[in-house]
Amino acid sequence: MSTKTVSKSNAAVIESRDQLVASFAKGEKPIKDWRIGTEHEKFVYSLSDHHAPSYDEPGGIKDLLDALTDYGWRPVLEGGTLEEGGRVIALSGADGSVSLEPAGQFELSGAPLDNLHETCAETGRHLEQVKAIGDRFGIGFLGLGMWPDKSRAELPIMPKGRYAIMLRHMPRVGSMGLDMMLRTCTIQVNLDYETEADMAKKFRVGLALQPLATALFANSPFTEGKPNGMLSYRSHIWSDTDPARTGMLPFVFEDGFGYERYADYALDVPMYFVYRDGKYIDAAGLSFRDFLKGELSVLPGELPTVDDWADHLSTAFPEVRLKTFLEMRGADGGPWNKICALPALWVGLLYDNAALDAAWDVVKHWTIGERQALRDAVPRLALNAPIPGGGTLRDIAGEVLDIANAGLTARSRMDASGSNETGFLDPLRDIVRSGKVPAEVLLERYHGVWGGDVSKVYDEMRF
């Protein structure tokens, strides 16, 4: 989730719907300027008893943030200066930003980089830093899609204003929104587009194949110490978080889809908040359309700014999201090598025109109902989920990886030893070859060598 770093007092005022639509066009970039932004979250836990550290406890989340400044990260405060009672809630630096999810899940939102070699090096730097600090404080970092043993009540809440608003609002609109906020982790990749048509094609391919990414990265089979009947419970949680801001967005596949149609969708997503003078104003359930007319009840007579629109876009949670770039949002959190594998999959599919066309050929005949049925089946069945026309995701997984491999080969981005980017797909090829997604491997171990003791996952899935 986004972290606020600046005041909005000087942001340009939005006076028309056309300005909202135009904001997406500002994201257009020539191919030579396309970049890769990778985000990954991980659970923080005490090595001694596996509890989730609070913000303020000794060796807790604040201490972890403070210690990272030794590596050149700069504090981001909310609620004023330190003297005014402000809290450090994020960090910024050359490698992007470090931020906190609602229960202290630790996220690196990486910098926009040219190639996957740089992305994986960035990931490695971050993980080495947090591991070194973790060893000092007696804390570890867990690569899963959902807390394997924690109830909501056992988890701390981070001191971020937007989270207080969301925590109040989530139970009004779905049964699992609090689980999404408090108990899940994801890996995400952010990618560029050249034109409106290019954005639309990438959006469609990304949305249609998002269930395959969910299946390959399925890594959340436990809830409160027991198998939950799912392989990606994190993905299942999104099915009843908030239907007004989640889902597969059928309109993306309609003729004429583009910036204007997505802007209309976003305008219909209910608001969460407005940020003014360092504080979050609760606007949960209110309409951005009213805001655009100066009729928002919590700020009567005031028009939104471009930053308000950017904030609002970050509160929609579809499987693929448009800002001034496209976000691929379907994967569970996972171990080190999976962090590099997700951007490899999507860069290979979406950043080469021949690969993009080939990927679209795989999915273009699927109907809206078939795409939704596949998405609904994946949390439980992963690669065994049935696909339109017969067969399962397993039957097309190898083909899609071959397309991604060809796309990465065509990009021809080499490291110092002369290797291209295709090696980052190897963990996904191993999954297809073995026939077992990560969650299935964990369940085998739970029913086997772990003897039904889910706490063993802390040793095996620790970074």
- Of the chain, the percentage scoring pLDDT greater than 90 comes to 95
Residue 199: half-sphere exposure toward Cβ, Cα within 13 Å: 29
Residue 351 lies in a domain: yes
Check whether 424 has a pLDDT greater than 50. yes
Question: Which residues, in sequence order, are bridge partners of residue 317?
Answer: 246
77-84 mean pLDDT: 85
Residue carrying the six token digits 């491999």: 405
Residue 8 lies in a domain: no
Q: How far apart are the first and last CA of the chain?
A: 22
How much is the pLDDT for 298? 98
What is the torsion angle, in degrees rounded to the nearest 10, for the CA atoms of residue 45, residue 50, residue 52 and residue 54?
-90
Residue 47 lies in a domain: yes
How far is the C-alpha of 415 from the C-alpha of 181, rounded, in Å?
37
**Residue 9: pLDDT band by 50, 70, 90 thresholds?**
low
418-445 mean pLDDT: 98
How far is the C-alpha of 262 from the C-alpha of 260, rounded, in Å?
5
Query: What is each CA distance from 296 to 83, 203, 287, in whole angstroms?
Result: 33, 31, 7
pLDDT: which is higher, 7 or 88: 88
How far is the C-alpha of 245 from the C-alpha of 265, rounded, in Å?
9
How much is the pLDDT for 7? 40
**Residue 1: pLDDT band by 50, 70, 90 thresholds?**
very low
- Of the chain, the percentage scoring pLDDT greater than 70 comes to 98
Check whether 143 has a pLDDT greater than 50. yes
Check whether 5 has a pLDDT greater than 90. no
How far is the C-alpha of 302 from the C-alpha of 300, rounded, in Å?
6
The per-residue pLDDT for range 298-349, each reduced to its tens digit, is 999 999 999 999 999 999 999 999 999 999 999 999 999 999 999 999 999 9
Residue carrying the six token digits 């908030």: 242
How much is the pLDDT for 80? 83
32's CB contacts (< 8 A; 6+ apart) are none
How far is the C-alpha of 215 from the C-alpha of 437, rounded, in Å?
7
Residue 1 lies in a domain: no
How much is the pLDDT for 85? 81
**Residue 126: pLDDT band by 50, 70, 90 thresholds?**
very high
Residue 72: half-sphere exposure toward Cβ, Cα within 13 Å: 6
How far is the C-alpha of 142 from the C-alpha of 151, rounded, in Å?
16
Residue 10 lies in a domain: no
How much is the pLDDT for 48? 97
When the pLDDT of each residue in the chain is averaged and rounded to a whole number, the result is 96
50-70 mean pLDDT: 98
Check whether 129 has a pLDDT greater than 50. yes
Q: Which domain holds residue 389?
A: 17-460
How far is the C-alpha of 398 from the C-alpha of 392, rounded, in Å?
12
Q: Residue 121: which H helix or E strand, with range?
A: helix 116-137
How much is the pLDDT for 81? 84
Residue 64 lies in a domain: yes
Check whether 6 has a pLDDT greater than 50. no
Residue 338 lies in a domain: yes
The per-residue pLDDT for range 148-203, each reduced to its tens digit, is 999 999 999 999 999 999 999 999 999 999 999 999 999 999 999 999 999 999 99
- Give me the number of domains the chain comprises: 1
- Collapsed DSSP state (helix, strand, coil) of residue 187: strand
Q: How would you label 263-291 residue by residue, b for 16+ Cβ within 10 Å and e otherwise?
A: bebbbebbbbbbbbebebebbbebbbeeb
Check whether 8 has a pLDDT greater than 80. no
How much is the pLDDT for 83? 80
CATH number for the domain spanning 413: value is 3.30.590.20
The per-residue pLDDT for range 198-238, each reduced to its tens digit, is 999 999 999 999 999 999 999 999 999 999 999 999 999 99
Taking the model in full, what pTM does it have? 0.96
The per-residue pLDDT for range 387-421, each reduced to its tens digit, is 999 999 999 999 999 999 999 999 999 999 999 99
Residue 263 lies in a domain: yes
